Structure 1
Amino acid sequence: MTNSYYFINVIRFTLLVLVQVLVFNRLNFFGFINPMVYILFLYWYPIKENRPVFLGIGFLLGLAIDFFSDTMALHAASTVTIAYLRPTIMRFVFGVNYEFQSFKLSNTTRAQQITFLALLVVAHHIIFFSLEIFSLSNLLLILKKVLFTGSATLVLCLLFGSLFSVSRE
């Protein structure tokens, strides 16, 4: 890969961490909805990259958010888990098509892209809020936070994705 390819991923990583830490961690809609848009990095990360490197980058992404948010590795555990589950989620959403060399996320339908992003967000939020609350007696609270925070995260990620997408014709 070229240097510009790595440069773009470093810029994405840095900007998403900064936007999450400086903007979205300070927002609390209705007192408990705190969107987590940094998940977009794991969504945008190239498909055919080295998986152990991807897991390491997912861990570093979560650790960076944890460092600034003081959340004791909750984000790191969540991001590593969705980085690990990403091939399974892709196989579920795209079928075996994603295993071919010519597969690109931009060549899929908008419904498939939204489904893929939604599944990443839901998996991340279930893990994050289950670890944060850590009590099955509060299952309804976990589900409420997953539903509302996940919805806000998905809407904002779709907005960011449409704002910063590059149209390829």
Structure 2
Amino acid sequence: MGGRNAKPITLHLAEKNPSHLTKAEIEQRKKAEIKLGDQKLKCPQFVKTDVNAYAKWKEIVKIYKDIDFVSSGDTGLLGRYCMTFSEYQKLLEQRKRIDNIDMMGPDEREELEHYIDEDLAEDLINKVNYIISVDGVLKIDTAINKKMDQLVKMEDRLFLNPLAKVKNVPKKEPEKIDPLANKGFGNV
């Protein structure tokens, strides 16, 4: 089955009815839409415990405040989106920290060995060098890209980016063709 997914009718009307649906078509679409739960969006507990996720939750609730198509049945996806966004922010912070770490040279190695056991110093130096290594940077970049991909997919489902709003155009009802109208028996 081709075509795009239909937008909820309230979103369509918020965009000033771009395809000029009739009142009957609008009513038919309103009746056909499934609503789960009430209009009030209650923040899940796992989102409240994370500062970044909770801030994103508040931002999204403001966006959806006057829109009727989001209900309490959508809180699971909204919560997962907020947590994924928070994890993405944390990965970006880790990436910045890695960029600011300098490799230990021979002078720093000797100074570190002076304060702690030589084997412990060597182990610590190896761990720091691994984190800074290309492999460590590539792994964190891969994790960042995966989180970004997840966010984009969720944004599409939640209509949080402009492209998602454009993609989700409602499908038109097939026109009812009267076989007798073509033969001159139209208004009988």
Q: Which category describes the TM-score, using the shorter chain as reference length?
A: under 0.3
Q: TM-score, normalised by structure 1?
A: 0.28
Q: Which has the larger radius of gyration?
A: 2
So what's the TM-score if we normalise by structure 2?
0.26
Higher relative helix content: 1
| RCO higher in structure (CA 8 A, sep ≥6) | 2
